[in-house]
């Protein structure tokens, strides 16, 4: 019998074949131009001095032609630089760290659930099973009003939580950047479920006595991906307002949205959502180029709201007893997968190297022409990004994205540890994850970051950043006192 052939799919040599192919495709223009330039240089060197002089004299230059050519060059250069979009820098950001008094260990959470839902033990058991598999740790926090039995979700308590989270994050940002309140030109606040009058943005303006001509916006009802939407809005505003500073505040107020009924689909958010918030300073000023941490490269937004299932998969409504809560559909993960597919199809051509795009195109053509059962090629996004910030919406969300994007455990580490330490902080979770990467000292100049967030509606939004300078390990921030303990092992089930 002939010897068994080696498994070529696991051959080490194939690794170098793929690397060679990627280098060839990604540098095809350079590799094509080099022989052409070399050929021209050789031909010029073959000519003698007299032939070169004759060639120069044969060119007839007219003053009018020279002036017209110079004018054309200046005109084209002017149009190019005027139409070129302004660079948007992320100068710095600050994340809110809840006080220890707001901590909710598993035992406390379950004790409250048993007292509040004492007439429905099955709902208590359901919450316990969710919490055991949630991926949350013992140090997540809920606002003071939720610690009461029963909870006291009053308007005053909700405003108190908003002031605590937003003002703390804002104070930290002003301290870190040295920014004066009067220097803020644009203010954007996003909070999905708490929208008081006056608005949260007006609350910030009143607290910090911001200018009367400030451009302020308050975004509500846009879900956990509203942070990226706010960044997109700030980018658009900074394109038309030169030499400006924009502050984006992302948070979710838990106090008025703690569900006290028995519907399981509405009890799920109680187990996952926790206190959190972030304040981000963006600028288009050239003077900020040197000290800015990141540069905004792309924002890609995908909205699947035209589909009825996608529209209703995260829905605020009343239960049979008239109690308001957020209902999560069983189809949520499938809908999130479709939204992600649409989003990466759009962002892929913007960020992926040519080699990955060509492989994806060849596979797509092969499926259309030869065999529709061919397995679709999943582009290797690890070639486009060094860091991934996946919205810490829950363990299942992170697991699915890791599987579908073929990411390593290290790529998802920031998301899993953020979920463990702070829980689902809605739109601000992306900034806790970025803070984790910085606290670990992993952010280097030139690194590319992909922030992916999901939100009600249903939306999948992405933001791509490029590190402007090597980030030193910060001595403050939400991770300062616990980063040495992370990463921690998170078991599949924590028995309560």
429-442 confidence digits (pLDDT tens): 999 999 999 999 99
Maximum CA pair distance of the chain? Answer: 104
Per the structure block, which two tokens stand in for 63?
Answer: 């003053």
For residue 235, pLDDT over 90 is answered with yes
Q: Of these residues, 141, 224, 389, 412, which one is catalytic?
A: 224
Query: How far is 263 from 269, CA to CA, in rounded Å?
Result: 11
Q: Of these residues, 190, 270, 391, 412, which one is catalytic?
A: 391
Give the model confidence (pLDDT) of 311-360 as tens digits. 999 999 998 989 999 998 888 888 998 898 888 888 888 888 888 888 87
pLDDT of 436: 97
CA 324 to chain centre: 29
pLDDT of 10: 43
Give the model confidence (pLDDT) of 218-233 as tens digits. 999 998 999 999 999 9
Query: How far is 189 from 60, CA to CA, in rounded Å?
Result: 64
Asked if the structure places residue 493 within a domain, the reply is: no
Asked if the structure places residue 74 within a domain, the reply is: no
Over the range 457-480, which residues count as b (16 or more CB within 10 Å of their CB) and which as e? bbbbbbbbbbbbeebeebeebbbe
Query: How far is 432 from 418, CA to CA, in rounded Å?
Result: 6
pLDDT average, residue stretch 233-260: 95
**Contacts with 194 (C-beta within 8 Å, 6 or more apart), sequence order:** 158, 162, 200, 220, 252, 253, 255, 256, 257
Give the model confidence (pLDDT) of 374-421 as tens digits. 776 778 889 899 999 999 988 988 998 898 888 999 999 999 999 999
pLDDT of 11: 42
Asked if the structure places residue 131 within a domain, the reply is: yes
Over the range 342-355, which residues count as b (16 or more CB within 10 Å of their CB) and which as e? ebbeebbeebbbeb
> What Å distances lie between residue 453 and 173, 192, 398, 420, 477, CA to CA?
23, 14, 11, 18, 22
Asked if the structure places residue 492 within a domain, the reply is: no
pLDDT of 83: 67
Q: Give the chain's domain count.
A: 1
pLDDT of 14: 46
pLDDT of 58: 67
Asked if the structure places residue 30 within a domain, the reply is: no
**Could you say which DSSP state residue 383 is in?**
G
Is the model more confident about 260 or about 15?
A: 260
Angle at 133 between CA 128 and CA 139, to 5 degrees: 80
**Could you say which DSSP state residue 424 is in?**
B
For residue 13, pLDDT over 50 is answered with no
Query: How far is 427 from 173, CA to CA, in rounded Å?
Result: 17
Long-range Cβ contact pairs of 287-290 (< 8 A, separation 24 or more): 288/89, 288/91, 289/87, 289/89, 289/468, 290/469
Per the structure block, which two tokens stand in for 2?
Answer: 């002939």
Note if 27 is an active site residue. Answer: no
Please answer whether residues 255 and 246 qualify as being in contact, where contact means their C-beta atoms are separated by less than 8 angstroms.
no
* Residue span of the structural domain in which 316 resides: 89-485
Query: How far is 280 from 250, CA to CA, in rounded Å?
Result: 8
The predicted model scores a pTM of 0.86
Asked if the structure places residue 193 within a domain, the reply is: yes
What percent of the chain has a predicted confidence (pLDDT) above 70? 91
Per the structure block, which two tokens stand in for 7?
Answer: 């498994």
Asked if the structure places residue 10 within a domain, the reply is: no
Give the DSSP H/E element, type plus range, for residue 69: helix 63-83
- What is the residue whose two structure tokens read 């679709």? 376
**Out of 339-343, 352-356, 368-372, 486-490, least confident range:** 368-372
Query: How far is 263 from 311, CA to CA, in rounded Å?
Result: 20
Over the range 269-294, which residues count as b (16 or more CB within 10 Å of their CB) and which as e? bbbbbbbbbbbbbbbbbeebeeebbb
Q: The domain that contains 292 carries what CATH number?
A: 3.40.47.10
pLDDT average, residue stretch 454-459: 92
Give yes or no for a cis peptide into 113 (omega within 30° of 0).
no
* Counts of helices then strands in the chain (DSSP H, E): 16, 11
Residue 298's Cβ-count burial label (10 Å; 0-12, 13-18, 19+) is: middle
The confidence band for 56, taking pLDDT boundaries of 50, 70 and 90, is low
- What is the residue whose two structure tokens read 């330490």? 421
pLDDT of 365: 81
Note if 420 is an active site residue. Answer: yes
Asked if the structure places residue 272 within a domain, the reply is: yes
Q: Of these residues, 141, 313, 387, 467, which one is catalytic?
A: 387
Q: Of these residues, 420, 460, 461, 468, which one is catalytic?
A: 420
Give the model confidence (pLDDT) of 79-128 as tens digits. 766 667 899 999 999 999 999 999 999 999 999 999 988 888 899 999 99
Neighbours of 125 (CB within 10 A): 13
Note if 411 is an active site residue. Answer: no
Torsion angle of alpha carbons 331, 347, 367, 363, nearest 10°?
Answer: -130
Query: How far is 305 from 312, CA to CA, in rounded Å?
Result: 9
Note if 412 is an active site residue. Answer: no
Coil, helix or strand for 168?
helix
Q: Of these residues, 245, 424, 461, 468, which one is catalytic?
A: 424
């Amino acid at each position: 019998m002939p010897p068994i052939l080696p498994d070529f799919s696991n051959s080490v040599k194939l690794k170098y074949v793929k690397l060679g192919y990627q280098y060839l495709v990604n540098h095809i223009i350079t590799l094509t131009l080099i022989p052409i330039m070399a050929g021209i240089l050789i031909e010029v060197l073959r000519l003698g001095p007299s032939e070169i002089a004759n060639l120069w004299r044969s060119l007839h230059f007219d003053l009018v032609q020279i002036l017209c050519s110079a004018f054309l060059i200046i005109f084209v250069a002017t149009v190019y630089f005027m139409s070129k979009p302004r660079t948007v820098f992320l100068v710095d950001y600050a994340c809110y760290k809840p006080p220890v008094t707001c901590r909710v260990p598993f035992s406390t959470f379950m004790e409250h659930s048993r007292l509040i839902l004492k007439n429905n033990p099955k709902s208590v058991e359901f919450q316990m099973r969710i919490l055991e598999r949630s991926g949350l740790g013992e140090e997540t926090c809920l606002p003071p009003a939720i610690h009461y039995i029963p909870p006291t979700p009053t308007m005053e308590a909700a405003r108190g939580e908003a002031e605590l989270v937003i003002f703390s994050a804002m104070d930290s940002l002003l301290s870190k950047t040295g920014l004066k309140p009067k220097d803020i030109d644009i203010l954007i606040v996003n909070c999905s479920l708490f929208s008081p009058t006056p608005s949260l943005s007006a609350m910030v303006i009143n607290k910090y006595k911001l200018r009367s001509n400030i451009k302020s916006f308050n975004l509500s009802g846009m879900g956990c991906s509203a942070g990226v939407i706010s960044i997109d809005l700030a980018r658009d505003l900074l394109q038309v307002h030169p030499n400006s500073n924009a502050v984006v505040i992302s948070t979710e107020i838990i106090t008025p949205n703690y569900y006290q009924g028995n519907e399981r689909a509405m009890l799920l958010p109680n187990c996952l959502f926790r206190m959190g918030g972030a304040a981000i300073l963006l600028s288009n000023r050239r003077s900020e180029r040197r000290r800015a941490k990141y540069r905004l490269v792309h924002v890609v937004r995908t909205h699947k709201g035209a589909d009825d299932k996608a529209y209703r998969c995260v829905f605020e409504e009343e239960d049979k007893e008239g109690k308001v809560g957020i209902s999560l559909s069983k189809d949520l993960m499938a809908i999130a997968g479709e939204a992600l597919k649409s989003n990466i199809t759009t962002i892929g051509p913007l960020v992926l190297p040519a080699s990955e795009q060509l492989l994806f195109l060849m596979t797509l053509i092969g499926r259309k022409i030869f065999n529709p059962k061919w397995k679709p090629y999943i582009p290797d996004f690890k070639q486009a990004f060094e860091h991934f910030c996946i919205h810490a919406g829950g363990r299942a969300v992170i697991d699915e994205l890791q599987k579908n994007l073929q990411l390593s455990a290290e790529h998802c580490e920031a998301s899993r540890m953020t979920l463990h330490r702070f829980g689902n902080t809605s739109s601000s979770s992306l900034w806790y994850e970025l803070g984790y990467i910085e606290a670990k000292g992993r952010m280097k100049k030139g690194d590319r970051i992909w922030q992916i967030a999901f939100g009600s509606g249903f939306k999948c939004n992405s933001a791509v950043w490029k590190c402007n300078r090597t980030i030193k390990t910060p001595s403050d921030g939400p991770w300062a006192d616990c980063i040495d303990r992370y990463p921690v092992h998170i078991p599949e089930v924590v028995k309560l």
